[in-house]
Amino acid sequence: MKTARKELKTIDEYISFQEESKQIGLQKIRAIIKKVVPKAIEGISYQMPVFKENGNLVYFAASKKHYGFYPTAKPIEVFKEQLDAKGYTYSKGAIQFPCDQPIPVKLIQDIVKFRIKDMELNAVTKKKVPAKK
């Protein structure tokens, strides 16, 4: 990363401040997400790129040896077998895609689609819950 001090405002700025070798991968991840949710709003949150649609949908970022993908905990639970099968490192809310391997297009698409449906379901469920008195 060229600087950690600058307050980034757009995904374009974020990508431009990354090492040149990481920029293509970040643009690819961005394009994958954008293809699934073309009307989502792009932004920066926690100094990382974020796509928003009825709330924060997914984040992504570049690290020294991997791209971080942050879809929250539930999608990671649901896609755990696929992540294990591919040997990806992951934690409760983050997945690491090694920079020296192809970016898993279909897996990212499937996770984003799942995340959209899960957020829609959560929004409907919240509306149905009666207010506490």
Alpha-carbon gap, residue 118 to 99, rounded angstroms? 28
The identity of residue 97, as a single letter, is F
Per-residue pLDDT, 106:
98
Which residue ranges of the chain lie beneath pLDDT 70?
A: 1-5, 126-133
Sheet with 66-70: list strands edge to edge. Answer: 41-45, 48-52, 56-62, 66-70, 95-98, 89-90
The identity of residue 76, as a single letter, is I
Per-residue pLDDT, 124:
76
Per-residue pLDDT, 105:
98
Complete domains list, the chain, with CATH: 11-113 (3.90.1150.200)
Per-residue pLDDT, 51:
98
Neighbour-count burial for 59-98, b at 16+ CB within 10 Å, e otherwise: bbbbeeebbbbbbbeebbebbeeebeeeebebeeebbbbe
For 65-96, the pLDDT digits (tens) are 999 999 999 999 999 999 999 999 999 999 99
